[in-house]
Amino acid sequence: MVAVDESEESMYALSWSITNLISDTNNNSKLMLLYVKPPSAVYSLDSAGYIFSNEAIEALEEYSAKLAKSVMKRAEAICRNFDATNINIEKVVGTGEAKNVICNAAKKLEADTLVMGSHGYGFFK
C-alpha cells in the first residue's frame, strides 16, 4: 500500500516502491494506492468560526473530489512510466483524518507493507 497525495514526496515514495518492492517476476503483485480526502466538517467553518453556505461546502467538496482524481491519475502515470504491467493496481479514496484512515485501511486490507512520503514537518506535525 502506498499512501499518495499531491506532494512530490508521495510520488517519489510510489516510484521507490515500484522500483524496490515489486518484483518483475511476480505476476501477482498488488499495489494499493490510497488517497485520503479531509472530512467535509473541516470545510464547514472558516478561520473566524463562520459557517460556510451549502453552496460553498459543495464547491469545496467538488474541488476535493477533483483533487483526488488528479492525484490518482498522476500516480497511475508513474506506474505506466515504470511499465508496471505485471502489477494489479487498486485505487482507494478515503475520507477522514489521514493518519486514522491510512492505519485503518492498512489493517483492514492486511497490507504487508505501507509506504508513504515524508512531508518534512519533522517528528511532530
- Which domain does 16 fall in, by range? 2-116
Report the C-alpha gap between 111 and 94 in whole angstroms.
Answer: 16
- 120, burial (CB in 10 Å: exposed 0-12, middle 13-18, buried 19+): exposed
pLDDT of residue 47 exceeding 80, the answer is: no
Per residue in 53-111, pLDDT tens? Answer: 778 778 888 999 999 999 999 999 998 888 766 788 899 999 999 999 999 999 999 99
Give residue 57's pLDDT: 79
**pLDDT for the residue 84:** 66
Percent of the chain with pLDDT over 70: 79
- Domain CATH code at residue 36: 3.40.50.620
The number of folded domains in the chain is: 1
- The pLDDT of residue 27 is 64
